[in-house]
Amino acid sequence: MATEPIETDERVADEPILRTDELVKNFGQFTATDRVDLTVERGEFRSIIGPNGAGKTTLFNLVTGALPVTDGRIYFDGEDITTLSPAERVRRGIGRSFQISNIFGGLSVRENVRLAAQSIDRDRYGFVESLFKPTHRYDGMNERTSRILERIGLSDVADEEANALAYGDKRRLEIGVVLATEPDLVLFDEPTAGMSVEETRETIELIEDVLVDQTLLLIEHDIELVMELSDRITVLNRGQILAEGTPDEIAANRDVQDAYLGGMME
Per CB under 8 A, does 6 bind another protein?
Answer: no
* 53 binding another protein? (CB under 8 A): no
Residue of the chain from 6, 52, 134, 213 that contacts another protein (CB under 8 A): 134
Binding mask of the shown chain, residues 12 to 31, with x at each position contacting another protein by CB under 8 A: --------------------
Amino acid at the residue 168: G
Looking only at residues 72 through 111 of this chain, which bind another protein when binding is defined by CB under 8 A? 85-88, 90-91, 95-96, 98, 102-108, 111
Amino acid, res. 34: D
Kindly state the smallest distance separating residue 26's Cβ from another protein, in Å.
15
177 near another protein, judged by CB under 8 A: yes
- Rule CB under 8 A: say whether 190 interacts with another protein: no
Does residue 131 touch another protein according to CB under 8 A?
yes
| Residue 168 engages another protein in binding (rule: CB under 8 A) | no
Query: Which is closer to another protein, CB of 45 or CB of 138?
Result: 138
Among residues 132, 213, 265, 266, which is the contact residue for another protein, using CB under 8 A? 132
In DSSP terms, which residues pair with 27 in a beta bridge? 30
State which residue, 117 or 256, has the beta carbon closest to another protein: 117
In the complex, minimum distance from the CB of residue 169 to another protein, in angstroms, rounded to a whole number? 15
Task: Report the candidate in 213, 237, 260 with the shortest Cα–Cα distance to residue 45.
Answer: 213
Q: How many residues contact another protein, by CB under 8 A?
A: 40
Kindly state the smallest distance separating residue 235's Cβ from another protein, in Å: 26
For residues 237 and 232, what is the distance between their CA atoms, to the nearest angstrom? 17
Q: Across the strands, what pairs with 96?
A: 187
Q: Does 125 bind another protein (CB under 8 A)?
A: yes
Binds another protein (CB under 8 A): choice among 33, 64, 82, 230: 64
**Nearest one of 18, 52, 99, 30 to 236, comparing CA atoms:** 52
Q: Which residues contact 120 (CB under 8 A, 6 or more apart)?
A: 3, 91, 180, 181, 182
Site string for another protein, 145-164 (x = CB under 8 A): --------------xxx--x
Where along the sequence are the contacts to another protein (CB under 8 A)? Answer: 64, 85-88, 90-91, 95-96, 98, 102-108, 111, 114-116, 118-120, 122, 125, 130-136, 138, 159-161, 164, 177, 181
